[in-house]
Chains A and B, each alone.
Chain A
Amino acid sequence: QKEVEQNSGPLSVPEGAIASLNCTYSDRGSQSFFWYRQYSGKSPELIMSIYSNGDKEDGRFTAQLNKASQYVSLLIRDSQPSDSATYLCAAQISGAGSYQLTFGKGTKLSVIP
């Protein structure tokens, strides 16, 4: 059973702080990992993808991947109230299953002004 686990939150951080979102996955065959942001009543939108161990930075966002520990994280620096949303972690395996993403249940982030 392929699973992606996230702490459902809510995670509250003050404006300007670093928000740290964590995700673990069960399938060692997972090769690609994605973070989606979903505002209330809206559809998920991709904010970061990561495929190799280590860090990947894009503006205020940094994704971290540790395949040995089966762990993915997303750091949001200088958090803004507009970052308040649910963040979905997703994993994709290679090969025949590479069409399919498995999503976690999401972590709700609240950035307090």
Chain B
Amino acid sequence: DTAVSQTPKYLVTQMGNDKSIKCEQNLGHDTMYWYKQDSKKFLKIMFSYNNKELIINETVPNRFSPKSPDKAHLNLHINSLELGDSAVYFCASKQGVGTDTQYFGPGTRLTVL
């Protein structure tokens, strides 16, 4: 069974469109994350939710809006897509606070044309 899954795996779209990426974890974890990895492979945190509450909201354009309907799901909606949004987006989860390991999903490669 896949621990952290994301859909879609690839997303190609035009500038100005609105798109969503979905993430689900079946590990029973409390905390979920969205990361962006750019073309230079730099992995940067965007958002984190703990038990459906937003706890980390880094400096990200407000075109990006996370939503957590329950603690097993964290979705990312992006409005008015721009060329610079092209990247790989990773979802991750971990159990609570402290030193627990973060487990990453397979990633969604977003290409904005």
Interface residue B61 (Cβ < 8 Å from any Cβ of A): no
Q: In whole Å, how far is B87's beta carbon from the nearest beta carbon of chain A?
A: 14
Per the bound structure, the CA–CA distance linking A44 and B94 in Å amounts to: 14
> How near does chain A come to B36, taking the closest CB pair, in angstroms?
11
Partner of A99, one of B97, B104, B106: B97
Given contacts A43-B107, A44-B90, whether A88 and B43 have CB atoms under 8 Å apart is yes
Selected contact of B43 from candidates A32, A98, A103, CB within 8 Å: A103
Q: Verify if A100 is at the interface (C-beta below 8 Å from B).
A: yes
Complex contact B97–A106 (CB within 8 A): no
Instruction: Answer whether residue A51 sits at the interface, using C-beta atoms and an 8 A cutoff.
Output: yes
CB pair A105 B104 closer than 8 Å: no
- Are A101 and B45 within 8 A (Cβ)? yes
Docked-complex contact B107 and A46, CB < 8 angstroms = no
CB of A105 to closest CB in B, whole Å: 5
Q: Which of A32, A43, A92, A102 contacts B106 (CB 8 A)?
A: A43
Nearest residue, chain A, Cβ from B96: A99
Q: Are A99 and B99 in contact, CB atoms less than 8 angstroms apart? A: no
Complex-state Cα separation, A10 to B41, whole angstroms: 13
Per-position contact with B for A16-50: 1 when CB-CB < 8 Å, else 0?
00000000000000011010001000111110010
Q: Which residues of A contact B44 (CB under 8 A)?
A: 103
Give Cα A101–Cα B45 distance, bound, in whole angstroms. 8
A32/B41 in contact, CB under 8 A:
no
**In the complex, A13 Cα to B12 Cα: how many Å?**
37
- Most chain A beta-carbon contacts within 10 A, residue among B40, B102, B107: B102
- Residues from chain B with Cβ under 8 Å of A106 in the complex: 41-43
Q: Return chain A residues, CB-CB under 8 Å to B48.
A: 99-100
B31, A99: Cβ atoms closer than 8 Å: yes
- Residue numbers of B with Cβ under 8 A of A are 31, 40-45, 48, 50, 55-56, 90, 97-99, 101-107
Leading 7 A-B pairs by shortest Cβ distance: A43-B104, A32-B99, A103-B43, A98-B97, A105-B42, A46-B101, A44-B104
CB-defined A-B contacts under 8 Å, sample of 5: A31-B99, A43-B104, A45-B104, A99-B56, A106-B43
